[in-house]
Structure 1
Amino acid sequence: MSSIERRRRAETLQAALPTPPLPTDYLRTDDLDRVPALTRHDVRVDRRAEARHILTVREVQRRAIEGAAVEAGQAFVDAAAVDAQRRVLTEAKFQLQRARKESQILAGDDPELAAKFGLLDDDFFTFVRLTGTA
């Protein structure tokens, strides 16, 4: 005889009671006799509310798409303005460099002419700077 058999009790123990069944008066989804019937008015109200909800969602989607299009257009305009300003700045640099080189070539070794041309170049630089930012 094994040790398990020796420890086995002769009397039966009380087992837990099984879960009682649900009362029959509960409403079940498949029990069509107990589901309250919707009136025609309730159905119309429900359909109107659903239609309003769908229209509201579509309107929100339209506004979101239009807003995104406006933002994209504004971003494109901003990028074009930055590019245009870059081109103006590059052209101004080339003009200033050209004026300086012309002054150096024309002045040669004459310090008096170099000083006068330097003043003219400074005036031109101020003019270019003011017109470039306007």
Structure 2
Amino acid sequence: MLATIHGERTLTELDFVRLGKLADQQLPPALAELLDAADVLPSREVPANLVTMNSQVEIEDPATGQRQQITLCYPGDSQPGAGFVSVLSPVGIGLLGVKAGTLACWRMPNGVERSARVSAVLFQPEASGDFTR
């Protein structure tokens, strides 16, 4: 497993459907598990502090305090060096559906466990009134 799912996860209906369509590709087991276990809400009902697809978040390494801004995106838009992290990556799976203040945890392909606290959701499409992004 490339990511560890800790705690409650919530997805928008649109994110759930779109991620389910990625099943044509080989989904990481952790993402398939997340889709099976997540609560699903209409986009208009998700809280503004929830990490959804295309959200820009600030994360903080709990060990070093180092902060980083990333945008959670679909695989075709991924540019890790520019801060656009694919939802199919361990980090992306670890962040999807968690709320600000949550410690997101994941396992890297080499087996090393990593974590980061979601210190803020800086932009969320649904909070800005965009329910189709």
Same fold (TM over 0.5): no
Q: TM-score, normalised by structure 2?
A: 0.17
Instruction: Identify which of structures 1 and 2 has the higher relative contact order when contacts are C-alpha pairs closer than 8 Å and 6+ apart.
Output: 2
**Bigger helix fraction:** 1
Structure having the larger proportion of residues in strand:
2
